[in-house]
Amino acid sequence: MQQKKTMEQERIAGGPCLNCRREHSFSEGDARSHCRELMQFLEQEKRLDLLARREEADPQLDTASLFGEARGKMFGIMVCRAADGSERVLRAFSGQYNGIWEIEGWAPPLFNLAVYTRIYAEFEPRIKQLGRELQLTKHGSIQWRDLSNRRRQLSQQWMREIHALYTLSNFRGQQRLLSDAFAGSGGIPTGTGDCCAPKLFNQAIRENLLPLGLAEFYLGRENASRTRQHGQFYPSCASKCTPILSFMLCGLDELRVAG
């Protein structure tokens, strides 16, 4: 058990890079201690609006939903060094929180929120309407198969347009669309690019920060598959993070040596 824990601390994120044909990796550093401070805040204050006064807390940002039907969520901390030598601590939550993508004090998503919202408003009602029509149609009939195909094609188009919004950067100053940077086999899983690690690396790159350590923990009711438990630390996921972090990490090793 101790050996497994040590290996996870040494390599929390990374993967084989199609860009430079090398294996990149990244470790925890001392990020876990900062995670414990964040965990303590979330458990005591029961809210995500870190920068707001308690009396001005937004009810949508309380942590109650993490322990209900929606279940818990991954949170992450990245410790960085700024150009002036000072330490910066970045924070991220996976996906969106109660329908909210951007919260002050947390790493932003990898896409333009206004464009994302427009695309969502265009496709989501149409797909839901097709779903309602399917429920009222005899299963297996010609009309049912036609509706099913239309909904599948519309969903696929929706995902292509959403994926096209994600622009990934790396530490060599290069940028790629999600579809071009993804190094996994098969299709791009839903939610790729929305986890803590990609958000944190993206923010560090945009703000010209040098990442020194990264750690992620789960807070709330265990997930449906029981692979995530409250208060436990986990490495970046293999299905969604590893295939893109391999590109995002490219060039960081040289910067760390130089720095």
Q: State percent of the chain over pLDDT 90.
A: 79
Domain coordinates in residue numbering, the chain: 2-108+174-258, 112-165
**Strand spans (E) along 94-209:** 167-169, 175-177
**How confident is the model over 230-252, as pLDDT tens digits?**
999 999 988 999 899 989 999 99
Q: Per residue in 132-188, pLDDT tens?
A: 999 999 999 999 999 999 999 999 999 999 999 999 999 999 999 999 999 888 889
Average pLDDT over residues 210-221: 96
pTM: 0.90
Q: 217-245 burial, b for 16+ CB within 10 Å, e for fewer? A: bbbbbeeeeeebeeeebbbbbeebbbbbb
Average per-residue pLDDT for the chain: 91
Tell me the C-alpha distance between 53 and 57, whole Å: 6
